[in-house]
Amino acid sequence: MKRPDRVAIVGSGITGLCLGQALIHCGVDCRIFDKGRYPGGRMATFFNDGLAIDYGPKWFHTHDEFLESSLRQALVDVGAIVVEPSELPGEVRRRLPTDHSVTSWTIPGGMRALACRLAEPLELRQRHHIRRIERLNEGWRIHGTDESNGSLPFIFDAGATILTMPWPQVADLLRDSGITPATELRLPEITEEAYDRIHVGTFLIEGLSLKPASSGFVELSESTALSRIDRIERPGSPERHIVAAFAKPRWCRKHFDDAPESVMRDLLKEAESQLGETLQATPLRHHRWKFAKLTNPDAGNPHPLIFVDDPPLIVAGEAFGVSSNVSAGILSAQASAAMTFRLLTAGDSGRSGLA
């Protein structure tokens, strides 16, 4: 049986999208599967009366030395604006890497716009939940369900498979597939506890008297349970705002399984204490991230990917290579694309390792 030339990528976050871009530029046919509704993973935005509200990161940080052309062009296409470090909240500044030069960007139309731009030339299958992968003689068979079509089962055969999800999800999928992560891929143990968890609540606020800062965020006291408050003023309505309140990871770990209504009440109370006034608030949306950010990237893998060629299976993503999650994901995508092309065309098998 001839090994299929096409590649399956699981995960349409920044790593999966940059990986797909790199592969199609090499002439490799690929499909990207993700259980979410939209591409981008945590680059998430929702809209209220035409206003874009990010409920994931509001800033995108790129490694200056390794900003590849398709990502650079996508940033230009969506009108991304460079943000100076002094214009970032203190919490964000403190998390910027210090071992290499970084440029920070914000996107007026919301962070999802960048993900959608990167996704345009790619074949994505959103709301497709991958349940297990099956090793064939000359490739992999992907078993999943199409959640946009009544959980209809589907299969997809590929010559190589690349997993870009958070490591606990990768490990679960491998175990569900009868693959032992530690022995077959030498995948380090990175548990759910290694990731920040985040609650986000967004509210429509009437009568907010404080003018938002030009950058749209509020500097917070160290004692608050919030890590960030974003304010977006409605055009023509200076006292009507959208407020997005983000809870600190430590608070979220304690309250992660609380009812959304309870979380929204707590977030609103904290926002009121930081803004210094009682808010006339209408709740809009609650979201929680179980794998928001790898707390200690140094606990990941210093190499950009892990692979086995029996047949080609690659684990890539933000837990590889460098201290910045986004930079790590992008660099891992570039290395994984090169390795995939090599494994598909080399014709030898039985190897595994770090690269």
Q: What are 276-319's pLDDT values in tens digits?
A: 888 889 999 999 999 988 876 555 566 677 878 778 999 998 77
Token pair for residue 128? 């497709």
Query: For the chain, where do the domains classified as CATH 3.90.660.10 start and end?
Result: 194-294
Residue range 194-294 forms a domain whose CATH class is alpha beta
What pLDDT is stored for residue 96 in this prediction?
A: 78
Question: What does the pLDDT look like over 251-284, one tens digit per residue?
Answer: 999 999 999 999 999 999 999 998 888 888 999 9
CATH superfamily to which 7-190+300-354 belongs = FAD/NAD(P)-binding domain (3.50.50.60)
Paired sense of beta strands 312-315 and 160-163, if any: parallel
Average pLDDT value for the chain: 86
What is the pLDDT averaged over residues 115-135?
97
Q: Helix crossing, 14-25 with 325-346: angle to 10°?
A: 40
* CATH 3.50.50.60 residue spans of the chain: 7-190+300-354
Residue 187, pLDDT above cutoff 80: no
Bridge-based pairing of strands 81-83 and 102-106 is antiparallel
User: DSSP string of 112-143?
Assistant: HHHHHHHHTTS-EEETEEEEEEEEETTEEEEE
Q: Count the neighbouring beta carbons within 10 Å of the beta carbon of residue 309.
A: 19
Residue 213 has a pLDDT of 45
pTM over 0.85: yes
What is the Cα–Cα distance from 272 to 201, expressed in whole angstroms? 13
Q: Which two tokens stand for residue 117?
A: 């731009």
Residue 19, token pair as written in the block:
């990986």
Q: Look-up: residue for tokens 């591409």?
A: 39
Average pLDDT estimate for 138-151: 96
